Amino acid sequence: MTAGRLEGKTAVITGACGGMGTVACRTFCEEGASVLGVDVAEEAGERLEAELQGAGLDFVFQRCDVTSSADASGVAAVARERFGGLDVLYNNAGTILGKPLLETTDDEWDRVIGVNLRGAFLTMRALVPLMEGRRGSIVNVASGLGLVGAPHMSAYCASKGGLVLLTKAAALELGPAIRVNVLCPGVIDTPMPRGLADSLPPELGRKLLREWEASHVAKRLGTPAEVVAVAVFLASDEASFVTGAAIPVDSGITAA
């Protein structure tokens, strides 16, 4: 059997129970990694653990609210106990808000910034010490809307744009020992964007989906596997000369 590209590596994946997170956890395991998946959705996480362990994969779940520094420290303690050290941190946890700037509440703003930006900062701060001497890789997940703006997406754009520059600063600070890169996906076919479309009146929701599809060169939404494939590359030793990069996985949206 051919060894996977992540054979022997240890990884923490946040947002493990989301549309991209579940694919990431399975794929990283299938590529040979031992994975600690974290999410606030405890029941879903336990189901995912049972499913992946039942398939013979090396996966465990830990509940974690990424906006909590105490929870992030708890994940670091579990990772240290289970793995001894860490090779990969995949910051996949995220949330979305589509709302006019003037109608966005304090709590909504804080929630989006908290999950999308603060969460990545907290997990990086807690887990980077476990990467000492291991040529670690951090893969953050931002968005194409971290590179370009869009109306009614001010909180989301601010959080993802901040994550892009957090990544670049961290790459310069933590290198060469640790590589730090960020993915900037287009609209990926997961419950998150579909939930945003479903929150609109039906005709407007369908119109938004058609517009999203048309905005991609491929004329369709992306799939989680297409994003995770790039994450696997960045987590692997094949990407040893790649750091500080913001990589669009968006079928050309930001090329315009």
In terms of residues, how long is the chain? 256
Same domain, 196 and 237: no
177 and 203, same domain (yes or no): no
164 and 203 inside one domain: no
* Within-domain flag for 255: no
Residue partners of 229: CB distance under 8 A and separation at least 6: 27
pLDDT at res. 1? 44
* Rounded Cα–Cα distance for residues 197 and 205 (Å): 4
CA distance 16 to 26: 10
| pTM of the entire predicted model | 0.94
pLDDT number for residue 200: 81
Q: Is 156 a catalytic residue?
A: yes
Whether residues 150 and 213 share a domain: the answer is: no
Residues 90 and 217 in one domain: no
Are residues 144 and 241 part of one domain?
yes
| One domain for residues 215 and 123 | no
53 and 34 in a common domain:
yes
Same domain, 97 and 203: no
Q: Is residue 148 part of a domain?
A: yes
Give the domain range for residue 136.
10-186+223-248
Q: Do 153 and 28 share a structural domain?
A: yes
- Provide the domain count of the chain: 2
Q: Is 58 exposed, middle or buried (0-12, 13-18, 19+ CB in 10 A)?
A: middle
Distance between CA atoms of residues 169 and 163, nearest Å: 10
Using alpha carbons, select from 65, 2, 51 the residue that is nearest to residue 22. Answer: 51
Options 28, 59, 90, 156, the catalytic residue: 156
**Cα gap 169→180, rounded to integer Å:** 9
For the chain, what is the total number of helices (H) and then of strands (E)?
9, 7
Same domain, 104 and 195: no
Give the per-residue pLDDT at 2: 58
pLDDT for position 224? 95
CA distance 54 to 214: 40
Question: Does any domain span residue 240?
Answer: yes
Give pLDDT tens digits along the chain (256 positions): 457 999 999 999 999 999 999 999 999 999 999 999 999 999 999 999 999 999 999 999 999 999 999 999 999 999 999 999 999 999 999 999 999 999 999 999 999 999 999 999 999 999 999 999 999 999 999 999 999 999 999 999 999 999 999 999 999 999 999 999 999 999 998 888 888 888 888 888 888 889 888 999 999 999 999 999 999 999 999 999 999 999 999 999 999 8
> How far is 52 from 123, CA to CA, in rounded Å?
24
State the DSSP code for 116: I
The answer on 175 and 55 residing in a single domain is yes
Give the integer Cα–Cα distance in Å for 12 and 186: 23
